[in-house]
Structure 1
Amino acid sequence: MPPTDAMFLLAESREHPMHVGGLQLFTPPEGAGPDYVMNMISEIRSQTEVSSRFAMRPADPVSSVGNLWWAQNETIDFDYHIRHSAVPRPGRIRELFQLTSRWHGTLLDRHRPMWEMHVVEGIEDGRFAVYTKVHHSLFDGVSALRNMQNTLTEDPNDTELRVPWTPKERRPKPSGGGSRNPLALVGDAFSLGTTAAGLVPAGLKMLRQALGDHNFTTPLDAPRTIFNTPIGGARRFVAQSWEIERVKAVGDAVGATLNDVVLAMCSGALRRYLTELGELPEKSLTSMVPVSLRPGESADGGGNAVGAVIASLATDVDDPVDRLMAIRESVQASKNLMKELSPTQILLLSAVNMSALALSPVPGFVSLTKPPFNVIISNVPGPQKRMYWNGSRLDGVYPASIVLDGQALNITLTSNDDQLDFGIIGCRQTLPSLQRLIHHIEDSLTELEKAVSA
C-alpha cells in the first residue's frame, strides 16, 4: 500500500472519518412509473463485474499493521453496498441533507470494500438522489467525481445503466480537465523527501515574495477561529447551486476571475456567519485554494497545472468590491510566485502549505499551534454540459469532503452545465446552524452584483 493511502487509514478515527462523498440529484424521465427507482436498483445490483479498486479492503482491519497493505474481496455483497432509502415526509431537500449528514458522519466497514451507494427516493417533485462515499485511501475527491462522470451521458435517450465500479477497460476515458484533490498533497509532504533539495530555492523565492509583496499570504497569517478547533464525529451537510453567468458577470465587471468571485462569495458568507456568532476576528481569514496556473484559466486539452496556495479572504474589509479585489490581489501574488517555480517545486511548496494537516491527529497539536489557514475552498472541474443517467436528468452534483481537527469546515464546488454546485460539510458540534451559510452565500453574491452595477 502506498504511504499516502496508508496515511488516510491510520489517521482515521470515530471523530475523523476519512472518506469523500457526493450527492447527485436527478429528475426521472417523463413517463417513469412508480417502480422506476426500484427497477433501477435491481439493475445496479446485477452489475457484479467490479474493478480491482472497488474490491479492495485492508488486509487485516483489526491489526494496525494489517492496514498497511491491501487485500481483494473475492465476492461483494451488493445488497450491503447499494442501499435503497427514502426521505421522510414531506420529502424536502432539507430532509435529504439530514440523511446525507448522518451517512457522511459514519465510518466505512474495513472488513468490506470501502464504499457505499445510497439511492434515495421520495423527494418532492418526484426526484431521486444518489449519495456515494468512498474511502480517501482508494479515491480522492477529484477521481471520485470523474468516476461518477463516466457513468453519465449527454444523450437523454441513452438508458444504458452505467455504474462507477465497472472495470476500467470497459469504460470511456473521462472528459474535461482534472486536478489533484488538495488533501492528497498532505501525503506528498512525506513522499517527496528525495527531491526536498528543490524546496530550498523555492523557499527563498517565497520569502522574497512575502517581503516584497504585501498581498502575498503565508501559513503564518491565519487567525484562530471556531473553524480551527478539535472536532467531533457528527457532520452537517448543506448544498446549493448558483448560475455560472451570475458569478462571471461580477468578475467581468471588475476584471476578476470566476474563482476570485467564488472566494469573495464565500468570504462574505463566512464574515456574516461569524459576525452572527460574535466570532469574527479582526484579522482576515485565509483559505487554502487550489489554483490553475494555465493561461486564461482554461482546462481545455485536459490536465491542469495546479498548485495549492493560501489566499487572504479579506474578511476584515467592509466594502464587497474592495474585498473582492483584495482577494484577487492575494491569489495573483501566489500565482506570480508559482510561475517562477518548477513543477516539482510547486508540488513541494503546495505540500508544505498543507503539511500541518498531517499533524492534526496528534493530541494537543491543534490547540497549541496556529492554524496554517482557516478553511479549505476547492473548485473541482465537473460536467460541462447537461448530463443524464439512465434517462434521468442530473440536476445537481454536490461534493462532500473531509473535515479534520483544526479544519472544521470544508467548502467544495464543482461546475455542472451552466451552474456551480456547492457542497458544504462541517462539524455538527463545532459549527451551529451551518445551513445559514447557504443563505449568506446568496446574500454575498447579491451584494456583489449590486455593488458592481452601481
Structure 2
Amino acid sequence: MPMMPVTDSMFLLVETREHPMHVGGLQLFRKPEGAGPDYLSTLRHDLLENSNVRSIFRRRPAKPVNTLGHVAWSDDSELDLDYHFRHSALPQPGRIRELLELTSRWHSTLLDRHRPLWEIHLVEGLQDGRFAMYSKIHHALLDGVSALRHLQNTLSEDPDARDCPPPWGSRAPQRARPARNPRSLFSTAGSSLSQLAGLAPAAARVANEAVREQRLTLPLQAPKTMLNVPIGGARRFAAQSWPLERVRAIATASGASRNDVVLAMCSGALRDYLIEQRALPDAPLIAMVPVSLRGKSDAREASGNNIGALLCNLGTDQSDPAARLAVIQRSMRDGKRIFKELTPLQTLLLSGVNVAALGASPIPGFVGHTPPPFNVVISNVPGPRKQMYWNGAQLDGVYPASVLLDGQALNITLTSNGDNLDFGITGCRRSVPHLQRILTHLDTALSELEAATK
C-alpha cells in the first residue's frame, strides 16, 4: 500500500462536490483516409483488447476511502476498462457548440473514488467528420504537465503508424521501481536540511525584493473581483486555437517571451470582459502562473505533481496594450529571477506561500470576507511541437480543462500544438456569465498587441 506524497494527497483532501479536483483535456482528431462508418466502434473495441495499462491508471484510493483513501493508494487488479473508456455521440447538429456543452457537463462531475480516478470519452457525431476525445484524471495522480507529457507519449509523428498505445497505455515497458537504499535516504535528508537552513537568507532576499525594491508580486495584493467569489460545482468550458507564429512575431518585435505575450493576450481579454460586465477594478489583476519544477532532462514518464507558483501583475489598469505587456514582462522577469536563485525546496515553499490562502477557502465566509491571494490562474503547458497522429488520425486540437477552487472562478490553460496555441477556458457556470465571450476578447487582444508592436 504505497503512501501518497503530501502534494498529491491534498488534492483529495480538499475535493468536494463544488470543487472537483481533476484535470482534463479535449482532443480533436481527423479520421484517417478511408475510415468507414464503424471506424470509432472498431477503434474502441481494438483498444479495449490492449492489456498494457500504466500502473498509475490502476491506482485508486485505499479502502476505506474516507480515511486511508486520503493518504494511501491501492492497485485495482481487476480494472474495468469498459467502465473507464466510454463511447458517446453528440446531439445534432453536431457543432463544436454541442461538443463544448457536453465537455462542460463531463468536467463538472466527480470521479468515483472506489475505482481508479480517470475517465476517457470517445465522441463521434461532429458534423465536419472529425471525432473527439475528452479525458479527465484526478490531480492527485497527474498535474497538467504530466498529463500533456503522457498524451505525447501515446502519439506518433508518422501518419502511417498504427502501433500507438491507448490513452491508458505506454510505449515503455512497465518496470518496478528500484528500492531506495538507506544511504540515499540519509543523503536526501541531509540535502533537505541544508536547503531548510538556507530559508532565512532566502526569505530575506524575497522580502527585500518585495518591500524595499517593490519588484516582486506577493499574495493578497490582488483586488476583489467578480471572479473571486464562492463557486458551485457546475462548469462551462470554451476552447479555441490561434497561430503560434502570430505570438512569436509579437515576442520578437517587443523583446518579450512568448509566454509574456500570451499573458498579455489574457490580460487584454480579461480587461475587456470585466469592462463588458461593468466589473473592472482600479487595481491591476494578479495571475497565478504555474511553473514546472521538472528538469528538462527528465525523460521519464511523468506522474504526480511537481509545480511551483509565480504571481504576475497583469497590468489591467493600463489601457495601452504595449504598456500592459511591459508590466507583465517586468513582473515575470523579477519572479523568475527569484525562483532561479532558490533551491528546489525553497522554491516549493515560496510557491506554498503564494497559494497558502487557498487552503482556508473551505472555511465558511472566508472567501467572501478576505482579499483573494490572486485573481485568476493562467497556465502555459508545453505540448507537441510537430504535427502528431494517433493510429493514423491527425491531431487537430489539444484543449486543456483545469481545476477551479473556491474564490477562483476562472482558469485559462493553453498548450502548444504544432503550429498553433490551443486555449482551454474553464469557468464556474454560475459565477462567470457568457464565458465564450472571453475567446472573442482574446482574439481582439492579440490583434491589438500586433498593432502596438509593429
RMSD: 2.4
| Cα separation, 1, equivalents of 2:390 and 2:311 | 37
2:247 match: 247
Equivalent residue of 1:126, what SS? coil
Q: In the alignment, is the contact (CA less than 8 A) between 1:387 and 1:394 conserved in 2?
A: yes
Q: For the residues of structure 1 that align with 2:408 and 2:198, how far apart are their CA atoms?
A: 29
Amino acid at match of 1:241: S
- Deviation at 1:202? 1.9
Shift in Å, 1:139: 1.4
Contact in 1 for aligned 2:383/2:415 (Cα 8 Å): yes
Partner of 1:285: 285
8 Å CA contact 2:145–2:292 kept in 1: the answer is no
- Distance, in Å, in 1 between the alignment partners of 2:398 and 2:308 is 24
Q: Distance in 1 between matches of 2:328 and 2:50?
A: 47
Match of 2:322 in 1: 321
* Contact residue 55 and residue 113 of structure 1 kept, 8 A: yes
Q: Does 1:381 align with 2:382?
A: yes
AA at the equivalent of 2:365: G
How many Å apart are 1:6 and its aligned residue? 2.2
Following superposition, the deviation at residue 170 of structure 1 comes to: 2.3
Q: Does 1:390 align with 2:391?
A: yes
Give the 3 Å change call, closer, same or farther, for CA 11–291 of structure 1 in structure 2.
closer
Q: Cα offset for 1:134?
A: 0.7
The structural deviation recorded for 1:118 is: 0.1
Measured at CA, do residues 69 and 45 of structure 1 come closer, stay the same or move farther in structure 2, by a change above 3 Å?
same
Q: Report the equivalent of 1:87.
A: 90
Aligned: 1:361 with 2:342: no
1:181 aligned partner: none
Say if 2:247 is the partner of 1:259: no
Partner of 2:168 in structure 1? 165
The answer to whether the 8 Å contact 2:273/2:437 transfers is yes
Distance 2:260 2:365 in 1: 34
Pair 99,280 (structure 1): closer, same or farther in 2 beyond 3 Å: same
Distance 1:60 1:92 in 2: 42
Q: Does 1:211 align with 2:202?
A: no
- SS at the partner of 2:453? helix
Structure-1 residue corresponding to 2:120 = 117
- Bigger drift between 333-342 and 319-328 goes to 333-342
Q: Measure how far apart 1:306 and its partner are.
A: 7.4
Q: CA deviation at 1:299?
A: 5.6
SS of residue in 1 equivalent to 2:211: helix
Separation in 2, partners of 1:353, 1:435:
29
For the structure 1 residues 106 and 307, does the alpha-carbon distance in structure 2 shift closer, same or farther, using more than 3 Å as the test?
A: closer
Match of 1:423 in 2: 424
Give 2:157's match in structure 1, choosing from 150, 154, 164: 154
Q: CA–CA distance in 2 between the matches of 1:85 and 1:223?
A: 42
CA distance in 2, matches of 1:253, 1:149: 31
Aligned match of 2:188 = none
2:344 corresponding residue in structure 1: 343
Cα separation, 2, equivalents of 1:360 and 1:398: 28
How many residue pairs end up in the alignment? 431
Deviation at 1:151, TM superposition (A): 0.8
- Classify 1:359/1:243 alpha carbon distance in 2 versus 1 (closer, same or farther; 3 Å): same
The C-alpha deviation readout for 1:127-146, integer Å capped at 9, x for no partner, is 00000001111111211111
Shift of 1:29: 1.2
* Partner AA of 1:428 in structure 2: R
SS at match of 2:146: helix
Q: Measure how far apart 1:81 and its partner are.
A: 0.8
Superimposed CA distance per residue, residues 89-110 of structure 1 (whole angstroms, 9 cap, x where no aligned partner): 1111111100000000001111
Query: Is 1:24 matched up with 2:27?
Result: yes
Partner of 2:183: none
Cα distance, 1:171–1:62 mapped onto 2, change above 3 Å: closer
User: Aligned letter for 1:56?
Assistant: R
Equivalent residues in 2 for 1:162-241, closer than 5 Å: 162-166=165-169, 169-170=172-173, 196-241=196-241
TM-superposed deviation, 1:214: 3.7
**Contact 1:408–1:427 at 8 Å: present in 2 too?**
yes
**Among the aligned pairs, what percent are the same residue?**
58
Hey, what's the Cα distance between the residues in 2 that align with 1:41 and 1:194?
Answer: 52
- For structure 1, which segment, 152-161 or 362-371, has the greater mean C-alpha deviation from structure 2 after superposition? 362-371
- Equivalent runs, 1:55-70 vs 2, <5 Å: 55-60=58-63, 63-70=66-73
**What one-letter code is carried by the residue in structure 1 that aligns with 2:37?**
P
Q: CA deviation at 1:292?
A: 7.7
Q: Which runs of 5+ in 2 are unaligned?
A: 176-191, 301-305
Give the deviation of 1:357 after TM superposition.
2.0
1:66 Cα deviation from its structure 2 partner = 4.0
TM-score, normalization by structure 2: 0.89
Q: Distance in 2 between matches of 1:200 and 1:367?
A: 33
Find the aligned partners of 1:85 and 1:262 in 2 and give their Cα distance. 34
**CA distance in structure 1 between the partners assigned to 2:156 and 2:349 by the alignment:** 37
Q: Does 1:12 align with 2:15?
A: yes
